[in-house]
Chain A
Amino acid sequence: MRIMVTGLGMVSALGNDIAENLISLKDKKTGIGAIEILKTVHKDSWVAGEIKQTNADLTDTLEIDDSLTYPRTTLLGIHAAREAFKNAGLEVTDGSRTGIVVGTTVGGMDLSETFYRKPKENPSFIATHSCGFTTEKIADYLGITGTMSTISTACSSGLNAIAYGARLIRHGYIDRAIVGGTDALSLFTLNGFKTLMILDDQLCAPFDKNRKGLNLGEGAGFLVIESEKSLNERKGEAICTLSGWGNANDAFHQTASSPEGNGPYMCMHKALEQAALIPKDIGYINVHGTGTENNDLTEGIALKRIFGEDVPPFSSTKSYTGHTLGAAGGVEAVIAVLTLQHQVCFPNLNFARAIEELGLLPLTEVQENTTLKHVMTNSFGFGGNDSSLIFSKL
């Protein structure tokens, strides 16, 4: 059964919707810069891909009317999911055949860290803290009542959520699903990554010899996926298909990939196998490319193991959005689909020199009028959780 991609929605430091994000991507305009909204003592020490809207702004835009205060991750999620729904031309008459799967790591942490010491002032956070809260609220907002779940596997959450949604459709639980990821910036994650000493205080340079680390980002990216049968029944239109996915565990270290890039290798291999494709078929890869020493080297090694000397054109769009953690899989899947839809590859910003051990050169300019048939996107997370997805032209 083919899984059709029929709608996209995205909010990131690049823009509030697909159109705005596309303009920034084409104009090589990064969204990473000074931290202005998150109230951190470290705001002058780090840069991030921050969305320049407060929670109040987002709540107003979405016209949320609930006794609970919604955390930022939820607000961003509703924002992007709403666009994807509309983009797919969906009107929910029977929500029970529409599902939702959300990847997230932060959950309601931004509210929790604000009110933890003063719970009587606003106890909402106690109910909104858990990851599943976001999923339910997106579902309620859109009238979805079908099978739903929340997946939290660190940086691969978004891709795993998309794959789970696809499986639910294939197994007949639902006919269509909103799938993707959402995560907001928070003091917890900023300080957490700071302790790991893998942040770059300047703009990150994925796959560059002198890369110093990652920049955090925030955002939400969602796709609508449907069974071909259900799409035909409602006479809808598809953008492309989700043709393959793979998840594997590196089982090497909690925060670093094995030197041979085993986990990344295995998940890309699985995705290719499932899509019944050979490496040569992949026209472009949106790599995980965080800009850390470990990831880019090991991902590069894995790419060479799969593609040999013919590694396809690739880039890390984290140089635009920052690393949006649980949202990364969703955000980058959306960008991968846009690549296929518009036949344009977006570059890997801030790249100067190749990693010596690899000699791999990512794209450094926007490439238009491509003739891509299949694109791949990777997300590798803490705990060795590695995933890869493939989208294909109709």
Chain B
Amino acid sequence: MEMIHPLFFQNYSMDIFINGAQAISPQDTFKAESFPEKVSGYSSRMTIIKPDYKAYFNPLAMRRMSNIIKMSTIAAFECLMEAKAESPEGIITATGQGCVEDTEKFLIKMLDTDEGFLNPTTFIQSTHNSLGAQIAYQKKCFGPNIAHVHKSVSFEMALIDSLMMLKDKEADNILVGGVDEITAESYRMKSNINLWKEETYSNLSLIHSDTPGTIPGEGATYLMLGRKKHSSCYARITSVNILYKPKDNHHLKEFFDHTIANAGINKTDIGLVLLGANGDSRYDAPYDEIQHSYFNENTVGFFKHLCGEYETSVAFATWLAAFMLKKQEIPGYISQEAKKPGKINHIAIYNQDRGRNHSLIILSAC
């Protein structure tokens, strides 16, 4: 059957290296030297473990930084330091919902005061590209600066954008990030459309849950991608692809075949497949399907019980995969399956949003 999708990397002889990777998340992942020993438990909302903001910004600078800007900027700064870069040559950010807190503040005040006295600061900070703009401003980065805001594949689109720019030599390195926040107000509002589990439900029981709803999360993950391998290298990105509304299972299978072939490997070479199941029994069936059919010979793991459900959570999964490849370790709370001995060479991440946006990312050892 004719290939429906293009071969990304078909003509590429170039590797893309992850030379820095930092994740601020609800787990103890920030600046981690090793995997956290256990999973931190949450119910209702999984919020980040906050870094010490004052260690990074003086109080004056922080006056107009909401939580999302702070966590995004700090994760970016640490990632740059790790990759030993003063400033990136390009910044591409991804966010599904943008700067929610500032948007809410401005909107609610506007409604409450009947378009009365409003604050310019919250308006300016509510724009989606504030995340990338703040980093560019702080680091004096004059290079390309794009913000992708395309639902559950925002990060994948940012990744593809980065890879294209690196291939085109528009930059030698690109800082790419996936950031989203969950506020109490946003949690409350979305309860109106039955997205969440009961408030007392724990993330520790999220995967394979048999009740409807999921648990929202948040996080800021940044990767420093480059065409050259640094000593700080975590892994390589060897294939990224998305598929919108597959016609049927066959179409999906072709998508997987194709994306894996792009990485120059076979399905059996994949040491771990991370699945984006989020514990919502109404929508997780396709993951069970895939686990027992297409990937039935692969070790499978999960990540959303660690970070919660949010549109750029695949960024967190990418950090996890990179860290696992670097450490050559798969923690038991990610996968409980018997592991094959030997080196982990490739990890795949599969995510889908109610059958609409499917993505597959493959990372390989350095």
Q: Which residues of A pack against B, CB within 8 Å?
A: 40-42, 94, 96, 105, 109, 112-113, 116-117, 119-120, 123, 126-127, 130-133, 135-136, 139, 145-154, 160, 164, 167-168, 170-174, 187-188, 191-192, 194-196, 247-255, 262-263, 266, 381-385
Contacts and interface: CB of A to CB of B under 8 A. Distances in A.
Interface in B180-204: 189-190, 192-193
Secondary structure call for the A interface: mixed
Contacts of A147: 160, 242
A105 B119 contact: no
A247 B244 contact: no
Contacts of A172: 6-8, 10
B154 interface: yes
A248 B149 contact: no
Contacts of A249: 91, 132-133, 136, 141-145
Contacts of A40: 115
Interface stretch (B106-114, B211-219, B223-231, B317-325): B106-114
A263 B142 contact: yes
Given A153-B132, A154-B129, A254-B130, 15 more contacts: A96-B5, A112-B107, A152-B129, A168-B160, A173-B8, A188-B110, A191-B110, A247-B145, A249-B144, A249-B145, A250-B142, A382-B133, A383-B129, A383-B130, A384-B133
A254 B114 contact: no
B357 to A, nearest CB: 8
Interface in B109-128: 110-111, 114-115, 118-120, 123-124, 126-128
Contacts of B157: 149
Contacts of A382: 124, 127, 129, 133
Nearest to A127: B193
B111 A132 contact: no
B213 to A, nearest CB: 15
Contact of B142 (A119, A171, A251): A251
A130 B96 contact: yes
**Centre residue among A133, A152, A191, A263 by max chain B CB count within 10 A:** A152
B221 interface: no
Nearest to A263: B142
B51 to A, nearest CB: 23
Contact of B190 (A126, A196, A381, A383): A126
18 contacts: A116-B189, A123-B193, A132-B150, A139-B244, A147-B160, A148-B150, A150-B148, A150-B149, A152-B147, A174-B6, A195-B119, A196-B124, A248-B142, A249-B143, A251-B136, A255-B124, A381-B129, A382-B133
A382 to B, nearest CB: 6
Say which size band chain B's interface belongs to.
Answer: 35 or more
A266 B140 CA distance: 14
A151 B136 CA distance: 17
A136 B144 CA distance: 25
B329 to A, nearest CB: 34
Contact of B123 (A139, A145, A195, A384): A195
Contact of B136 (A146, A168, A384): A384
Nearest to B140: A251
B147 A123 contact: no
In the A-B complex, the 7 residue pairs with the smallest Cβ-Cβ separation, listed nearest first, are A383-B133, A192-B123, A132-B151, A152-B128, A195-B120, A149-B157, A249-B145
A153 B147 contact: yes
Contacts of A195: 118-120, 123
Given A113-B111, A195-B118, A250-B142, A151 B124 contact: no
Contact of A191 (B5, B115, B148): B115
B265 interface: no
B174 to A, nearest CB: 13
B4 A96 contact: yes
A44 B207 CA distance: 55
Contacts of A126: 189-190, 192-193
Contacts of A135: 150
Interface string B231-271: 00000000000101100000000000000000000000000
Given A116-B111, A136-B151, A164 B146 contact: yes
Contacts of A149: 148, 150, 153-154, 157, 161
Contacts of A133: 151
Contacts of B308: none
A149 B147 CA distance: 10
A119 B189 CA distance: 8
A196 B120 contact: yes
Given A116-B111, A249-B145, A171 B8 contact: yes
Contact of A130 (B6, B7, B144, B151): B151
B149 A130 contact: yes
Given A116-B111, A173-B160, A247 B146 contact: yes
Contact of B127 (A146, A150, A383): A383
B164 interface: yes
Given A173-B6, A174-B6, A153 B146 contact: yes
A386 to B, nearest CB: 9
A197 B216 CA distance: 37
Nearest to B121: A195
B356 to A, nearest CB: 7
Given A135-B150, A196-B123, A248 B144 contact: yes
Given A145-B245, A247-B145, A113 B123 contact: no
Contact of A385 (B129, B148, B167): B129
A37 B200 CA distance: 45
B98 interface: yes
Contact of A152 (B119, B139, B149): B149
Contacts of B118: 191-192, 194-195
Nearest to A40: B115
B133 A385 contact: yes
A197 to B, nearest CB: 8
Contact of B192 (A113, A119, A152, A153): A119
A132 B153 CA distance: 10
Contacts of B96: 130, 132
Contacts of A116: 107-108, 111, 189
B364 interface: no
Contacts of B7: 172
A255 B133 CA distance: 10
B97 interface: yes
**Centre residue among A131, A168, A170, A255 by max chain B CB count within 10 A:** A131
A252 B7 CA distance: 40
Nearest to B170: A270
Contact of A150 (B108, B115, B150, B193): B150
